[in-house]
Amino acid sequence: MTNYKNERSRQFPTKLSTTSFVKLYILHLLTEKSYYGNEIIEEIKIRLQNKWEPSPGMIYPLLRDLESEGHILGWWQEPDKRSIRYYRITDSGYEHYKKIKLMNKANFEDSMTIIKNTLSDIYKIKI
């Protein structure tokens, strides 16, 4: 774990917030294809093997923020009805994605070390 000023990290098991994690995942998905909000929720849930899913109350504000920052572009499937809004990543969004992906890699590695060592030590599961 990264220590600052010789202080121990108090956050467990990672320093990555749920919001930052979901933002990273949204941008990651949008590098593959266009999605709409509920589809993003379902895709994250599937990729995490139904162990966790972000709420609509988290996804939609993040989509609005990412769009207002110019990282994604949204459009209505049927503009007159405004029922389903699709999103795609922009060039600046892709650059932002690469930056935050690199920034957060060490946090995920730290979390993996904690989990692996806990499973090994307490549960005698070797990974």
6 in any annotated domain: no
User: What is the rounded average pLDDT of the residues 84-93?
Assistant: 98
Question: Cis link prior to 61 (omega < 30° from 0)?
Answer: no
Cα separation of 101 and 22, whole Å?
12
8 in any annotated domain: no
Helices and strands of the chain, counted as H and E runs: 4, 3
pLDDT at residue 101 greater than cutoff 90 = yes
pLDDT digits (tens, 9 = 90+) for 50-66: 999 999 999 999 999 99
5 in any annotated domain: no
Amino acid 13: pLDDT: 64
Q: How many of the other CB atoms lie within 10 Å of CB of 62? A: 21
65 in any annotated domain: yes
pLDDT at residue 35 greater than cutoff 80 = yes
Burial class (CB in 10 A: 0-12, 13-18, 19+), 26: buried
State pTM to two decimals: 0.87
Q: Which residue has the tokens 């593959």?
A: 32
pLDDT at residue 14 greater than cutoff 90 = no
Average pLDDT, the chain: 91
Backbone angles phi, psi at 17, to 5 degrees: -75, 160
4-13, 25-34, 72-81: least confidently modelled range: 4-13
Amino acid 1: pLDDT: 46
103 in any annotated domain: yes
9 in any annotated domain: no
DSSP line for 48-107: TTTS----HHHHHHHHHHHHHTTSEEEEESSTTT---EEEEE-HHHHHHHHHHHHHHHHH
79 in any annotated domain: yes
Confidence of residue 16 (pLDDT cuts 50, 70, 90): confident
Listed residue (99, 110, 111) closest to 23, CA to CA? 99
Q: How many of the other CB atoms lie within 10 Å of CB of 126? A: 7
For residue 77, the domain's CATH number is 1.10.10.10
**How many domains in the chain?**
1
70 in any annotated domain: yes
Domain that holds residue 42: 18-123
pLDDT at residue 5 greater than cutoff 80 = no
